[in-house]
Amino acid sequence: MERVVAAQHAAFGSFDGLRRAPPRSRSCAPNAGGNRARCAPISCVADTKHATKVQRNANLAKLQAGYLFPEASIFEWNALKLFIFFSPFLDQIARRRAAHLQKNPDAKVISLGIGDTTEPIPEVITTAMAKSSVCFSELMGWPHGKATVDMELSKELRVTLAKTFYGEVGISETEVFVSDGAKCDIARLQLTFGSSVSMAVQDPSYPAYVDTSVIIGQTSTFQKDVQQYGNIVYMKCSPENNFFPDLSTLPRTDIIFFCSPNNPTGSSATREQLEQLVAFAKKNGSIIIYDSAYAMYISDDCPKTIYEIPGAKEVAIETGSFSKYAGFTGVRLGWTIVPDQLLYADGFPVRNDFNRVMGTCFNGASNIAQAGGLACLSPEGLKAMHDVVGFYKDNTRILVDTFKSLGFKTYGGTNAPYVWVQFPGRSSWDVFSEILEKIDIVTTPGSGFGPTGDGFVRASAFGSRENILEASRRLKSLYS
């Protein structure tokens, strides 16, 4: 970490002109190395004598030092190749890992933590992207040639996405929005719906749903006693309810975020459960934002798209991504489906507003990424993606078998690359520390995904086979 910061200073200049403003009850004293210590929650502000008269966005000030990135700069995380896929908590993980390595410099740390793919992008896909990049050096008859190529490429990808993933459920290419990833689209959907809507989210779940709600102004302050933001309905998903919320106990909300297969629990909703969810949304006049980022990992009869459920087009938006299928976490390519039948209370099409937001905030996915996306959807590309997914699913089985052999209750791991491991009566952070300090393995504390996640850790199957097997051996040595 220190080398990264040093490189950052060399590249971008010193940040000595900035100081960290300590919270009311804490101070940020230099650590033993003379660097400024990190305190949470903190902010980075210039000396007040140079301050403007512009007030800080109060919604951003409400964000907690949560899941992954509360303090690190974009430069630092990009240098670490972590690409900022999650919202604020990896900083806590990274600091503990860095401290562990400082005490144990020869430790060979294995990460079962961050959900970032590790296998290379299949060659059939990279070849298509390389060929596309060469086209940028060719004269294409400006001003008409390049614009025509851009539009044709985008339309071809939309048509192919609709045919490949939604051909049996009647989604048209005009309902497909190609983007730079599902996470970015989640933020744009929040911008589309605005600050006055009410929101429900699975607990535990991907933190971007909550954090974007906080940023847009939908929530009140963070309530430390229950570890939740006000004005959000947290839909408890636990082993006791088979990771599907009891809808009969929930109040109406405008928006319902739902991810299946779920990150972090790895659980996938059955057809019957999704029928209940769609019926619940129709009864209440709500809109479901359905995150299907792991749909290709489904190997049983659980629906791979919510549009398999009759009536879903009237109440659901679906986001998807190539990140976990083809290793596109750094390439950045995803899509969102907004059906024509989805209407606001006044009858205005939601699609029209999302189209306006996309046209205002986004200039389109890279042509090179889109060429890669088309290659992904070719027969050879689909086979290659299934091979990659199959590799990670084999890794997942190794982890599931390991934890089960040690007597732990595990969940997920069948239709997702994540294993949700229960440690009854223990804090997620205590388990994280034990596994890191005793056998040099990084996991993800379940509490980072919501209060119901405490007492669990998430183990990710994204890793080399060698590392997964070694992690299995170390876990057995610790818990046997």
Residue with tokens 């410099």: 105
Model confidence over 293-335: pLDDT tens digits?
999 999 999 999 999 999 999 999 999 999 999 999 999 999 9
The CB-side HSE value for 86 (13 A sphere, CA atoms) comes to 25
CB neighbour burial string for 355-367, b if at least 16 within 10 angstroms, e if fewer:
eebbeeeeebbbb
Tokens of 347: 């009858």
Least confident of 34-48, 217-231, 238-252, 385-399: 34-48
Model confidence over 227-259: pLDDT tens digits?
999 999 999 999 999 999 999 999 999 999 999
* Cβ contact 182:208 at 8 Å: no
Mean pLDDT value across residues 134-151: 66
| Confidence (pLDDT) at 90 | 65
**CA 274 – CA 271 distance, rounded (Å):** 5
Characterise 427 by phi-psi region: left (phi > 0), alpha (psi -120 to 50), beta (else): beta
Domains of the chain, earliest start first: 2-107 (no CATH), 125-380 (3.40.640.10)
pLDDT above 80 for 115: no
Mean pLDDT value across residues 164-183: 97
pLDDT band at 47 (very low <50, low <70, confident <90, very high): low
Residue with tokens 């610790």: 478
Could you tell me the pTM of the whole model? 0.85
| Confidence (pLDDT) at 383 | 98
Q: Give strand pairing partners of 235.
A: 202
Least confident of 7-11, 219-223, 417-421, 457-461: 7-11
The mean of the pLDDT values for the chain is 86
| Confidence (pLDDT) at 448 | 92
Q: Give strand pairing partners of 399.
A: none
Model confidence over 76-105: pLDDT tens digits?
434 343 333 344 566 788 889 999 999 999
Mean pLDDT value across residues 361-378: 96
| Confidence (pLDDT) at 70 | 39
| Confidence (pLDDT) at 152 | 85
